[in-house]
Amino acid sequence: MAELKNTSVHSNDAETAILSILIKNPEMVYQLVNLKTHMFNSSVYSALYGVILELREQKLVPEYNMIVNYLVTKNRINSVGGEATLQFLVSQAFNEANLKEFERQVITAYKSRELVRITAAIPNVQMDSTVIDDVIISLQNDLNSISDTSGGDGTECISSIIEPSYDVIIKRLENPGLSGITTGFKDIDLITGGIARGELWVLASRPSIGKSAIMCNAVLDTAARGVPVLVFSLEMSKQMLMERFIAIKTGVLLTDIRMSKLTQKQLEIIAQAAKEFKELPIYIDCNYGMNLSYVLSTIRKYKKHHGVEVVYLDYLQLLAERDEGQTAELGRISRNLKLTAGDLGIGTVALCQVNRAVESRDDKRPIMSDLRQSGNIEEDADVVSFLYRDDYYNPNSKMKGILEYIIRKNRSGPIGTILFNFDMTTNKITGHS
């Protein structure tokens, strides 16, 4: 038997790292699928992790103040060594990208401790031939219990799945052809069935093709149907975003709005639109300094307090640092967006830039490989669509004012191209007959 070194049974540094990362990035707790409280070597850390899991089960964000208030309310603050323990963890600096590795280390150390305990008891076993089979079975059960510590949390019997699945199928009959949340465009809904809860959609193109315009049109239409929408814009200010909404809604030229070339009649139209906007469940965040942790925490907050059902992010690359690690960072971002969508039962649409490779081709319509330098976006997304305008590249194009919406990946249906009329003066997008 291989010797078990003492260093393999202790995981204090990894345990500290996990809790430090979680307290500072509470949304990351959903990445820890296999880690259980009893796997911690430290009883204090075990108790603290247990509190974090309790808050997670209650759909609460286990951030610092929430943890402290919860412990105080439950009279359990001493079980984690007081608030000093949390302050110590906050003061530590660990790379959040290594969270899964820290989880692996803690689980491995736990298994090692259990194996040491089991093997240490063997010399004391009375090797009586009449009970040897019982001893073997007992050892097998102990070893199996170690193996059983991982996996299976998401496994269910089909008997518990079929009834809610059948209910969903029946409910779809109320609105045939639309199984999810509307995209705001009937033609897209017909192909995709809408944005299903738990799905991550990616909408990509080169700059200035129409990503933000599609988003603004979709947000207005979706919210007008009473569906709460959360918009993250890392590129446009709130004022710029509102001016686009106004132009789309009223038909007043966007340049006229921005240059203050408005008639009294146009001002009256805009004033009326402003009143209608007040009734729409649209929530806008244009914090240019936001990071992934901020985005995920905000999504959870607005899902809980405002029932947000769809999230739009404009655009993905602006969340990642522009350095040699951007590809891996984008993959982590897309994965977390997908996990959060699934956990909260919301639809998420992430706008994305494609690389410059399209500019060197005769056919400049983006393809899936144009996303390959963008982490695991292609793998994480349930639907991947690209935008193309021929008149952007060819001033004399016969397709002037036509926006191509190209669905390249559709996990639940067909792919294809949908044509839209794109009025660049107002950003209004309508179906192409």
- The enclosing domain of 16 has a CATH number of 1.10.860.10
Structural domain ending residue among the three candidates 101, 116, 147: 147
pLDDT of residue 2: 42
Q: Residue 269 above 50 pLDDT?
A: yes
Neighbours of 335 (CB within 10 A): 17
Confidence of residue 355 (pLDDT cuts 50, 70, 90): confident
Q: Is the pLDDT of residue 7 over 50?
A: no
Q: Is 78 inside a domain boundary?
A: yes
Pair 170, 235 in one domain? yes
What is the model's pLDDT at position 223?
Answer: 92
Determine contact, residues 276/224, Cβ cutoff 8 Å. no
Residue 155 in any domain: the answer is no
Return the ∠ at Cα 103 (arms to 97 and 105), rounded to 5°: 110
- Does one domain contain both 291 and 191? yes
Residues 123 and 178 in one domain: no
Q: Tell me the residue type at 83.
A: E
Does residue 118 surpass a pLDDT of 50? Answer: yes
Q: Which of 19-23, 137-141, 314-318 has the lowest mean pLDDT?
A: 137-141
Given a cut of 70, whether residue 371 has pLDDT beyond it is yes
Classified as helix, coil or strand, 288 is coil
What pLDDT band is residue 140 in, cutting at 50, 70 and 90?
low
Do 413 and 313 lie in one domain? The reply is yes
263 has pLDDT over 70 = yes
Which CATH number does the domain housing residue 392 bear? 3.40.50.300
What confidence tier does 159 reach under pLDDT thresholds 50, 70, 90? low
pLDDT band at 142 (very low <50, low <70, confident <90, very high): low
Q: Which H or E run includes 266? A: helix 264-277
- Reported as half-sphere exposure (CB side, CA atoms, 13 A), residue 264 has a value of 0
The alpha-carbon radius of gyration of the chain (Å, integer) is: 27
User: Is a pLDDT exceeding 50 seen at residue 1?
Assistant: no
Question: 33-59: per-residue pLDDT in tens?
Answer: 778 888 898 889 999 999 999 888 887
Whether 187 and 228 share a structural domain? yes
Amino acid at the residue 106:
V
Looking at the fold, whether 119 and 199 belong to one and the same domain comes out as no
Q: Which helix (H) or strand (E) holds 416?
A: strand 416-423
Closest listed residue to residue 412, CA positions, set 388, 382, 368, 385: 382
Sequence length of the chain is 433
Grouping H, G, I as helix, E, B as strand and the rest as coil, residue 408 is strand
Q: Among 115, 147, 179, give the residue marking a domain's end.
A: 147
Last residue of a domain, one of 147, 181, 204: 147
Query: Per the domain annotation, does 154 fall within a domain?
Result: no
Give me the percent of the chain exceeding a pLDDT of 90: 18
Within-domain flag for 408: yes
DSSP 75: T
Residue 431 neighbours by CB distance under 10 Å: 12
Stated pTM of the model:
0.66
Q: Based on the domain organization, do 129 and 171 belong to the same domain?
A: no
CB atoms within 10 A of CB 33: 12
Is there a contact between 358 and 311 (Cβ–Cβ < 8 Å)?
Answer: no
Strands (DSSP E) found in 65-217? 200-205
Least confident range of 5-14, 242-251, 332-341, 403-412? 5-14
| Model pLDDT for residues 74-91, shown as the tens digit of each residue | 888 888 888 889 999 999
Question: Per the omega criterion (within 30 degrees of 0), is the bond before 315 cis?
Answer: yes
Question: Which contiguous run of DSSP H or E holds residue 312?
Answer: strand 310-314
Chain centroid offset of residue 235 CA: 19
Confidence at residue 293, expressed as pLDDT on a 0 to 100 scale: 78
Expressed in percent and rounded to 5, the helix, strand and coil fractions of the chain are 55, 15, 35
Whole-number pLDDT of residue 197: 87
Confidence at residue 305, expressed as pLDDT on a 0 to 100 scale: 85
- Answer yes or no: are the C-beta atoms of 371 and 358 closer than 8 Å: no
Q: Are residues 179 and 142 in the same domain?
A: no
Q: How far apart are the first and last CA of the chain?
A: 74
The answer to whether residue 28 scores a pLDDT higher than 90 is no
Distance (Å) of CA 407 to CA 104, 187, 383, 418:
38, 12, 7, 8
* Phi, psi of 282, deg, nearest 5: -115, 130
Summarised one tens digit per residue, pLDDT across range 183-228 is 888 888 888 888 888 899 999 988 888 899 999 999 999 999 999 9
In-domain check, residue 152: no
Identify whether 159 is part of a domain: no
**Domain carrying residue 100:** 6-147
Calpha distance 248→157 (Å, rounded):
49
**Does residue 156 form part of some domain?**
no
Q: Which band of pLDDT confidence, cut at 50, 70 and 90, is reported for residue 420? A: very high
Q: CA dist 258 to 251, 301, 350, 351, Å?
A: 14, 33, 27, 24
Domain total of the chain: 2
Same domain, 134 and 183: no
Q: Is the pLDDT of residue 97 over 60?
A: yes
How many whole angstroms separate alpha carbon 168 and alpha carbon 166?
5
Q: Is 40 left (phi over 0), alpha (psi -120 to 50) or beta?
A: beta
Q: Are residues 181 and 100 in the same domain?
A: no
**Residues 362, 282 share a domain:** yes
212 and 134 in a common domain: no
* Residue 310: inside a domain: yes
